[in-house]
Amino acid sequence: MTARARLALLLLIFPFGFLGCDKSAGTDTGIGIVVKPVISQPDAPPKAISACSLLTQEEATAILGEPVEKPTDSATGGTVTNCNWMTPSFHGVGILVRLASSPAEAETVRIEAHRQSKSVSGVDPEDVTGLGESAYWAGGRINQLNVFKGNYWLIITANKGNEGDNLALAKAVAEKAVARLG
């Protein structure tokens, strides 16, 4: 092999020598060189889910204490789904799922929603523990339990009129829904 050929081979292999210094991550080529990816692969995009998949009709009936009709559902552009379970006496629970495109967007949405809660509901938001990564109750005019988990924002409504504790009903729905999000 000529000196020029050896130099070309050395220049070709030299950059890979640094890649092999830390073998904690990467692919071993079998010749003592570990190749590490330089460009990271993006995380899989969050998957859209149907709000109706987060609570069964039987569960809604048990939570409300009276039979519910078949749930009504709707979807908007793959990022928002909504499902409502109503009784013949017009009591009901509902789940609206909003999907953020990234954890950073989800965090921005969480902060802004909490900040604007009082102007929408008329009362200060009440933090709720034990549901998702964070949650708060916006009572007053809207009676919504807002639960954040990963890229998902669940807005849970409960209405039993003067006959029940709407927050307790919304928490019961949230426990089922969050468990199904995984």
The pLDDT of residue 161: 82
- The helix or strand, by DSSP H or E, that contains position 25, with its residue range, turns out to be none
Considering only 6-15, 29-38, 51-60, 61-70, which range has the smallest mean pLDDT?
A: 6-15
The Cα–Cα gap between 57 and 20 comes to 57
Q: Which residue has the higher pLDDT, 164 or 56?
A: 56
Domains and their CATH numbers in the chain = 3-35 (no CATH), 51-181 (3.40.1000.70)
Using an 8 Å Cβ cutoff, are 169 and 158 in contact? yes
Sign of CA dihedral 24, 29, 30, 34: negative
Residue of 96, 105, 56, 92 lying closest to 76 (CA atoms): 96
Q: Model confidence over 78-103: pLDDT tens digits? A: 899 999 999 999 999 999 999 999 88
Using an 8 Å Cβ cutoff, are 64 and 91 in contact? yes
pTM of the model: 0.74
